[in-house]
Structure 1
């Protein structure tokens, strides 16, 4: 078979961009297909715009705190339309930065959706009467990187109101006066704090007892306390009974527990869903189910020359995990079987970019308990660290799950800079380092990451309380 391309990538989000850029630099002939905008969800309606909005909100909140502290009399800045600035920045990034990365890649952008014709052939755009497509591409290897979409549950009345998701949230023309948010995950929490700090009255409605299900309880408690102080209302253990429009053009949400919430806008952040309806995976012989496209440890689908990377395989729905999988999958195409990399063997740190930030890597305590793994907890608090106090960022902690020999299982970092600090623990766990390795690494002072070293020092001080070790120390000292 004559191939048009060595590599064909379907979806140019984080995973697809990683594959395309690397493959092109390897001097392979590469084609990338994207039905929407280059950069996918992360660049255009996800990670990047959300973090920009959070930064604007943090700045406004800092001014508000200065006024409260009476350090000076300030007028709170009005942020009427941050979205115009965000869209302008995204346009600049896409056109002046991102596209340069793909000068060696043939891009098929905004020409329609991709669909398989057979295991090596993909059509783009609408099919003609004779059964041919506007664009047909034959490739030796194909990487599916189509991501996921926001899941909108079939709440009664949901079709009668305007629904915001991350897909359209950043296209608003102004900050709404009030916002009701369905969901308590990372996106819901980040946007609740951002919009609240930018002037919206925010109410969160969640099914469970707490935000961020499955996250360290101490971390969640700190975040919920912060939300309460900032005026974000959390309605817990609620079941949506009805959603309806208000005469003023807003939305009213009724719950079976008797709560009634009216707001100008409704944001639904209740999870993600797979959508392979247009791909015609059956024609390629690629197996999938509701949890994603099935892959083996090397990210190959049921067709060994077709890979599924990123959210679409359902393994770890984070942009950085998608990029990493793209890299691993491409490398695996070059390696003989003994040298192929199992993508599941790499740790996946993550961060919720609220204030305080919440970051984690490794299994949870519940996981370790279920596995009957013996562990101990070592924790240090930001409020006990002089630099954090002096800088006014003394809310948070570092908590590490380890054992008597210093084996590292997991780490949770909450507070200023946690998204940077957690990576050290991720590397240590992945490389099977131990607590002594952290102890003997010099950490820049007075950075927040110095708290990581304090964890190791605290662990060592606990070891020094052992009578047999103290006896050895006394003996060695007297020699």
Structure 2
């Protein structure tokens, strides 16, 4: 059966459903094709469920360290099953909300595998979507004829060629969402954002965690000061790090109930191993070969409005290889939809996109790092303020972090900010607004900030960039 739409969205994850809602608001008849569940990885296997589990771990950690707050320490009891059940409840509530929004905005949902067709009897141009029933291979495909296509098929966990996922001993981040027990010895290959968040989680749940990173620092693309401070904080909690350790097939031995990994002259046994080396675009078998769209290094190439070489076919999110962040993907989606609706969207500046790490302690950043500016031969000034100077951070019991601001030495524009400490994943949004409004460091520092609040560190950073900080 054939249906006609102004826009068909291929993939109902965060970017996909947001694009559909925006398109409906702009008067476009819209359909979404999703083979799993609306919300995609972010809702079901990523952002939301991991943060739910991290919140449970945070409560456990606070109870373990109650003496820091003048309260007798209490050793909490828990089961991983209850933590997973709470996570499932959170996800279920959010999923119900998305389903409601789809109905409210009169968006049609097609459950199944969508593939892009080339020019055919349905349309003289590529882009018609054929949707296959995932439960009945013999069923006739639904045909979605359209004026525009938005590809938002996301990404999947990348695996090592010599260490494929088996969901039992060798785990992906997807597998972590249904963990049935807390392993005594837990190995993590990859010291990026995903690896460190799970390291923090599993440490709080009681595992002995070892993180293996091939590069010279954890979170390789972030500021070195932040990376070193975060590693030090996690080491203080008991997490072990093996940095600069590249693995090969010869270094790994798999047994029925454990994996043995050789690191230099030492061998380590792990009850389970999480491979967290990144994610790869999920663009196989979606019919790209039937279009003019081009790929490079496994990602779809687009212009600043997220158009492919077929101007009516757009792509956003993880599959285009910019920042693999849900909030970046949703902004890309809105830009793409506004462009196809001739609304002159604001082109996204990726230097204004916050980057957050939900470990304990948290880390957050926006804009440039010292390393990236050095690589571009750009002059800069840098100022740091310790969290120990901020009363609310001291009250919270974690004042070992810092704030760091990088500014233009001439006009004092904010080039980048890095934060590590309690609630900094919330604070970074204030800097995002400041950068969006092109505020200077002095303007950030001159805004009145509530006392006591951790946000005062941003005020002190802004003032310190002008040499007039009060508390440092």
Same fold by TM-score greater than 0.5: yes
Quote the residue 1:470 is aligned against: none
Aligned equivalent of 1:422, options 425, 428, 446 = 428
- 1:432 partner SS: coil
How far did residue 435 of structure 1 move? Answer: 2.0
Aligned equivalent of 1:361, options 335, 347, 366 = 366
Q: Using a 3 Å threshold, how does the CA distance of structure 1 residues 372 and 290 change in structure 2: closer, same or farther? A: closer
* Inter-partner Cα distance in structure 2 for 1:404 and 1:242: 51
Quote the residue 2:76 is aligned against: 76
- 1:253 partner SS: strand
* Inter-partner Cα distance in structure 2 for 1:39 and 1:262: 37
Quote the residue 1:173 is aligned against: 180
- 2:170 partner SS: coil
Aligned equivalent of 2:284, options 277, 299, 311 = 277
* Inter-partner Cα distance in structure 2 for 1:242 and 1:84: 36
Aligned equivalent of 1:229, options 221, 236, 246 = 236
Q: Which moved more, 1:61-70 or 1:276-285?
A: 61-70
Please state if 1:389 is matched with 2:394: yes
* Inter-partner Cα distance in structure 2 for 1:463 and 1:64: 36
Question: In 2, are the aligned partners of 1:7 and 1:31 still within 8 Å (CA)?
Answer: yes
* Inter-partner Cα distance in structure 2 for 1:105 and 1:18: 11
- How many residues are matched? 456
Aligned equivalent of 1:200, options 186, 207, 221 = 207
Larger Rg: 1
* Inter-partner Cα distance in structure 2 for 1:229 and 1:408: 32
Q: Using a 3 Å threshold, how does the CA distance of structure 1 residues 44 and 156 change in structure 2: closer, same or farther? A: closer
How far did residue 190 of structure 1 move? Answer: 0.4
Q: Which moved more, 1:316-325 or 1:340-349?
A: 340-349
Please state if 1:136 is matched with 2:136: no
- TM-score where L is the length of structure 2: 0.90
Quote the residue 1:246 is aligned against: 255
How far did residue 237 of structure 1 move? Answer: 1.9
Quote the residue 2:17 is aligned against: 17
How far did residue 459 of structure 1 move? Answer: 2.6
Q: C-alpha root-mean-square deviation of aligned residues, in Å? A: 2.6
- For structure 2, list consecutive stretches of 5 or more residues without a partner in the other structure: 119-125
Quote the residue 1:378 is aligned against: 383
Q: Which moved more, 1:282-291 or 1:130-139?
A: 130-139
How far did residue 221 of structure 1 move? Answer: 1.9
* Inter-partner Cα distance in structure 2 for 1:264 and 1:214: 30
- 1:143 partner SS: strand
Pairing of 1:428-439 with structure 2 (within 5 A): 428-439=434-445
How far did residue 283 of structure 1 move? Answer: 0.8
Aligned equivalent of 2:330, options 323, 340, 348 = 323
Question: In 2, are the aligned partners of 1:379 and 1:399 still within 8 Å (CA)?
Answer: yes
How far did residue 272 of structure 1 move? Answer: 1.1
Q: Using a 3 Å threshold, how does the CA distance of structure 1 residues 345 and 394 change in structure 2: closer, same or farther? A: closer
Quote the residue 1:150 is aligned against: 157
Question: In 2, are the aligned partners of 1:293 and 1:308 still within 8 Å (CA)?
Answer: yes
Quote the residue 1:411 is aligned against: 417
* Inter-partner Cα distance in structure 2 for 1:417 and 1:3: 47
Q: Using a 3 Å threshold, how does the CA distance of structure 1 residues 341 and 261 change in structure 2: closer, same or farther? A: same
Question: In 1, are the aligned partners of 2:163 and 2:170 still within 8 Å (CA)?
Answer: no
- 2:171 partner SS: coil
Please state if 1:289 is matched with 2:291: no
What CA deviation, in whole Å up to 9, does each residue of 1:32-89 have, x standing for no partner?
Answer: 0111111000000000111011111111011111257773142322333221221232
How far did residue 449 of structure 1 move? Answer: 0.8
Quote the residue 1:106 is aligned against: 108
Quote the residue 1:448 is aligned against: 454
Quote the residue 2:339 is aligned against: 332
Question: In 2, are the aligned partners of 1:160 and 1:245 still within 8 Å (CA)?
Answer: no
- 1:41 partner SS: helix
- For structure 1, list consecutive stretches of 5 or more residues without a partner in the other structure: 465-479
